[in-house]
Chains A and B, each alone.
Chain A
Amino acid sequence: MSDTEGKEVSDKEKEHSEEKEMDTAKSPKPRKTPPSSGKSSPKKPGSAKSGTMTPKSPAGSRGRATPKSKGKREEIKMETPAPEEEEDATLPDHCEPIFLSSKTQTIFSCVCDSDVTKENRFKIIPKAAILEDLHNRAGVCDFHPIKNKIIEYPGEEFLLVYDRDFKFGQNFYICFSEETKEKLLHPPKKEGEVVEGEGGVPGEEAEDTTVYKYVPPQSKEWVSHGSEKEIKEESVVEMRRRLKVSVRRKRKLFGAPCKFTDRNVGDAKDGYVECTSYKDKTFDLQKIELDKGIQAIPWFMDSGTQTEWKYPRNANTQYYPREFSQHEQQEILKKKQTGTFMDGVCPRFQLALQQNEIMDVFFNDWLNLGEADNTFGSKADNHLKEYQSFADLQFSKEKKITDIQWHPTIKGIVAVSVAEKLTFDERIDNASKVIMTPSLILIWSFTDPINPQLFLEAPDDIHSFQFCPSNPNIIAGGCQNGQLVLWDISAHADRLKQPRGGNRNKRATVLPGFEDPNALKTPIVRYCAVSSIENSHHAPITDIMWLPDHVEINRMGVPQENKGFESCQIFTCATDNCILVWDTRPTKGPQQQQQGAKPKDKDGTKNPIGVPDTFKHLDLTWKPMLKVHLHKSEPGGDHAPTKFSIAEKQGDRGALSKATDGGVPDKEASVTGGYFQSGKPGSGREKRTLQTVKTHFFVGTEDGEVVYVDWMPQKDQDTGKIQTPKPDFYHTMHDGPIMTVQRSPFFMDILLVVGGWNFTIWKEAVVSGPILQSAPNPIRMTSGFWSPSRPGVFYISKVDGSVDVWDLLDKTHEPSITQSVSPSAITKIYPHAVSHKQHLLAVGDSSGTLHILEIPWSLRLPAPNEVTGVANYFEREVKRRGFVVQRWDFREHEKRELEAEAKKKAGIAPNVLLTDEEIEYRLKLEYQTYMEAEGNFLRELGITKEEEPLPQTYSVTQFLSDTGTQRHRNSVSRYPVTGFISD
């Protein structure tokens, strides 16, 4: 830079002298421009500017251009005002000269020569300010004449230019177009740039800010910049005279004949001039390295497509099948074509049809092949598999499970009752402890094997309980102390129904800070009714059963239709020699009045322990409605029942259809729908008696007897009291208390009885004894249960913790499977069909653990025709039983004969000849029966009175006995009759 500056300085000195000589392209231009500037547009300074900006780059190549341009610049600088003034001589487009008074100037702060000067001519005035001024001063305002233009102006700010020299007639002119405004505002920049350039600072910053607009180039008049001189230099011009050359040859040589001979090229020196190659020393070629870069970029393309959105719409169409009318059909059928068609086609059909008739070719043999193989024991998978086990450390450990019940409707819910493992004496000794520990029924869910879902609290240990078949939220249980307890778990039914453990997701629904601390605790449900202790059993209730919902019995034990189809009667049995029947509905009489007053209590006082008052009417006052006392047929005590089984089955409504009308249907009873509270046991007249319901039932006793008795009380012949009749029969077949009396789910007259060391199977109509009696097992049996799906299978549990599976069709002398399940004695088993694919066996042991075992498919799926097979088996057994009885008679007879023979041989009077005494006795008996019949006959006719005949008959008989002959008896017997009549 300093170099060029130095040059500049030196150049400047020469400037003036050289200026005249140097006829460069640029120097004359500024001088020439003035005349042309008149024509050129205001762009002209722009082009001049571009000229001034060039010097830097060509500086090196055009050695002297810089000083020249410098000089030119100075000239430009000096001259700039002039062209501008000259430019302004024409008013720019869209401008309007305007005179602003001094007042206006002060308002808009554009006072001449102070705010605006010649150099700083521009003033920006906002449109709003002018409009305000127009408004304020109206006609006085200097802008008034151009008011319209101001209002129309699109921009926000006006450019006001100071016209000092009144070139356009006024002191200011105003700009009405943005373009002009731009143009006017920009040129001054050029001035600033030149100034900067002079200061030696490159005007790059200024350049950067300039917004370049593309102005299409316009053709201009050609201006000579000196190029014509260069062209002139290039062209060839004759500068000197042309040279003249003369060539001569002898005349004789012209046209002389040529003689060509061969010669060696190498020898010839005169024939050619050799130009040998040599290294040119002046040649200098510089290698220049060149950096070049190339980059390939992928092509980018923007494209778009759009699909049309169609709204889904409902559309429909309707059609009806084409059909021929009756007439048309007939027409077609009558055609000959139809007939021929049918004839032609018929044989094919007959062939096909016959083929199918003869044999089903598509019969799948494979599907029907394996079935016979499924019999028990043929496959490996026939063992009970442990599925789950439940034990509560606090409440069931070290206690024995007394009863198990599956929930009738909710899958995976099983309830167990637990009791202390104490003998009667121990119980008395530890009475204080026993009283303090709660007696509970635990309800378990498969979802939570740790915590029971529900506890049912009882006044004493429960030995037997059952869900109400029509309402599974009602549970009846029998206590150790003989009381009958009822629970209503309706409030907790949701808890049981929850698919996951009832207490897990409870928290989520509770607001933070309001969590129930007991949310995770298993709720304890208090019993809602307990029977009156005076009227209850006097021994532990060993068996309990709800009467099926279609039947109810009245106080006389007559089975009647239950219109409500709600189970409301309970059978219980205990070892106090009786079976009691309870009704859950309120009894008539004074209690009914109580019931009327009840609704008030319901709303007002809520039961403090949260006990639902479903059975409030029963609590502590509940009495049995029927008592079945089990007398023994012969004197010497009564039967002490432990289990019983009645013939009616829940869900079997067959008895209803055969019911006989016992009176007018009880409309009232059917209208009042309410169940336990509103329903009342109607009188016998209103309800239909169910004749087909068997009132005889089987009872298993503590002494191992099986008793068959009618629960309907009858008038006793001896005492005249109405009481339970003597049992029809009883047999002692077991060596210990009966633990199970259960009817087969497939055959209602077949019963399984388990007790002591063996089990027996009974058929209801066979009175002589069991149709099957097992051999005594070395281990005592504790309970038994029929398989719910296989008619010939039942399960027997034993005290050594094992379960026997018996399949009557497989073998009857020993169990098909014996499997050990628990280390302690099993107290109760209960198989349950959870689903078609899954059967579970609940096993309760004496250590309080409930084992759930999965029943293998071989024990689950009945073999084909198993029902008929088992039925045939039972039939055979019944026949065998008949034969046994026959043999008994035969043996008896034989025995008697043998005895007689023995007597004969011993010389005692022959058995055939009767002594006189004997004959007389027989005759006496015969006569007595005759007299009785006669008396009855006469009484029926109303001929005789009640008292009279008896003593007389007696006297006659006495008399007769004295005479001792039949003839006499006959004649005399007629006598009193006639005598009576004559009397």
Chain B
Amino acid sequence: MSEVEETIKRIQSHKGVSGIIIVNADGIPIRTTLDNSTTVQYSGLIHQLAAKAKSTVRDLDPQNDLTFLRIRSKKHEIMVAPDKEYLLIVIQSPNEV
């Protein structure tokens, strides 16, 4: 099993994790545990949001950078870790925790 799969498995093993998506810099999903339409929607929208958040952080302080983004909603929490080339999205439902 590859490194990526192992990591995914490790994250998945946490309680309430309902989905993991790896997205490339263009917002195209590479690996997902969700169904296709949800994945496409999540990756497209979260990618834009993460890019905006990243630019905000960098505009405020050019030496700073965004490392992690947590979006808490009524139903679940979306966690995003942006990097130069990839974006990892994890969706956790804390209600089920």
Give the B-binding residues of A (Cβ under 8 A).
321-324, 329, 332-334, 337-339, 341-346, 348-350, 352-354, 356-357, 360, 362
Contacts and interface: CB of A to CB of B under 8 A. Distances in A.
A346 B31 CA distance: 15
A352 B70 contact: yes
A332 B88 contact: no
B79 interface: yes
Given A353-B90, A356-B94, A339 B4 contact: yes
Contact of A346 (B11, B15, B27, B30): B11
Interface stretch (B16-24, B48-56, B57-65): B16-24
28 contacts: A321-B44, A322-B28, A323-B29, A324-B29, A332-B24, A337-B86, A338-B3, A338-B4, A338-B86, A339-B2, A341-B83, A341-B86, A342-B4, A342-B7, A342-B8, A342-B88, A343-B7, A345-B81, A348-B68, A349-B88, A350-B11, A350-B14, A353-B16, A353-B17, A357-B15, A357-B16, A360-B94, A362-B94
B3 A343 contact: yes
Sorted nearest first, the 3 A-B pairs with minimum C-beta distance are A339-B3, A345-B81, A353-B14
A339 B3 CA distance: 6
- What's the interface size class on B, roughly? 35 or more
B86 A324 contact: no
Most buried by A among B16, B70, B94: B94
Nearest to B76: A356
A348 B40 contact: no
Contacts of A334: 2
A838 to B, nearest CB: 28
Contacts of B86: 337-338, 341
A337 B85 contact: yes
Given A354-B14, A356-B77, A349 B28 contact: no
B67 interface: yes
A360 B24 contact: no
A333 B44 contact: no
Most buried by B among A322, A334, A345: A345
B7 to A, nearest CB: 4
A333 B31 contact: yes
B80 to A, nearest CB: 10
A349 B17 CA distance: 11
Most buried by B among A337, A344, A352, A354: A352
Contacts of B26: 322
Nearest to B74: A362
A353 B92 contact: yes
A346 B14 contact: no
Contacts of A357: 14-16, 97
B10 interface: yes
Given A324-B28, A338-B4, A353-B15, 19 more contacts: A324-B30, A329-B31, A332-B24, A332-B30, A333-B30, A337-B86, A338-B3, A338-B22, A341-B83, A341-B85, A341-B86, A348-B67, A352-B77, A353-B11, A354-B14, A357-B15, A357-B16, A360-B94, A360-B95
Contacts of B68: 348, 352
Contacts of B90: 349, 353
B28 A360 contact: no
Contacts of B72: 362
A333 B97 contact: no
A939 to B, nearest CB: 67
B30 A352 contact: no
A328 to B, nearest CB: 8
A354 B10 CA distance: 12
Most buried by B among A324, A353, A360, A362: A353
B11 A329 contact: no
A802 B85 CA distance: 77
Contacts of A322: 26-28
A346 B10 contact: yes
A45 to B, nearest CB: 90
A334 B3 CA distance: 9
A332 to B, nearest CB: 5
A11 to B, nearest CB: 103
A321 B44 CA distance: 8
Contacts of B24: 324, 332
B2 A333 contact: yes
Contacts of A348: 67-68, 79, 81
Contacts of A341: 83, 85-86, 88
B92 to A, nearest CB: 6
A323 B40 contact: yes
B35 to A, nearest CB: 13
Contacts of B29: 323-324
A611 B30 CA distance: 73
A365 to B, nearest CB: 15
A356 B2 CA distance: 28
Contacts of B77: 352, 356
A350 B8 CA distance: 11
Contacts of B14: 350, 353-354, 357
A322 B39 CA distance: 12
A342 to B, nearest CB: 4
Interface in B25-47: 26-31, 40, 44
A346 B7 contact: yes
B16 A345 contact: no
B79 A349 contact: yes
Contacts of B27: 322
Contacts of B22: 333, 338, 342
Nearest to A344: B83
Nearest to A354: B14
A665 B73 CA distance: 53
A738 to B, nearest CB: 49
Nearest to B68: A348
A322 B23 CA distance: 11
Contacts of B17: 353
Contacts of A350: 10-11, 14
Nearest to B81: A345
Given A322-B28, A333-B4, A334-B2, A356 B97 contact: yes
Contacts of A323: 28-29, 40
A350 B9 CA distance: 12
A340 to B, nearest CB: 8
B75 to A, nearest CB: 12
Nearest to A340: B3
A353 B91 CA distance: 10
Contacts of A356: 16, 77, 92, 94, 97
A345 B31 contact: no
Contacts of A329: 30-31
Contacts of A343: 3, 7
Nearest to B43: A321
Contacts of A362: 72, 94
B59 to A, nearest CB: 22
Given A332-B24, A362-B72, A349 B81 contact: yes
Contacts of B10: 346, 350
A321 B27 CA distance: 10
A363 B97 CA distance: 12
A345 B8 CA distance: 11
A64 B88 CA distance: 116
A349 B11 contact: yes
Contacts of B2: 333-334, 339
Contacts of B70: 352
Nearest to A321: B40
Nearest to B24: A332
Contacts of B16: 353, 356-357
B38 to A, nearest CB: 12
Contacts of B28: 321-324
B22 to A, nearest CB: 7
A345 B83 contact: yes
A341 B22 CA distance: 10
Contacts of A345: 81, 83, 88
A353 B92 CA distance: 8
Most buried by A among B16, B26, B28: B28
A332 B87 CA distance: 13
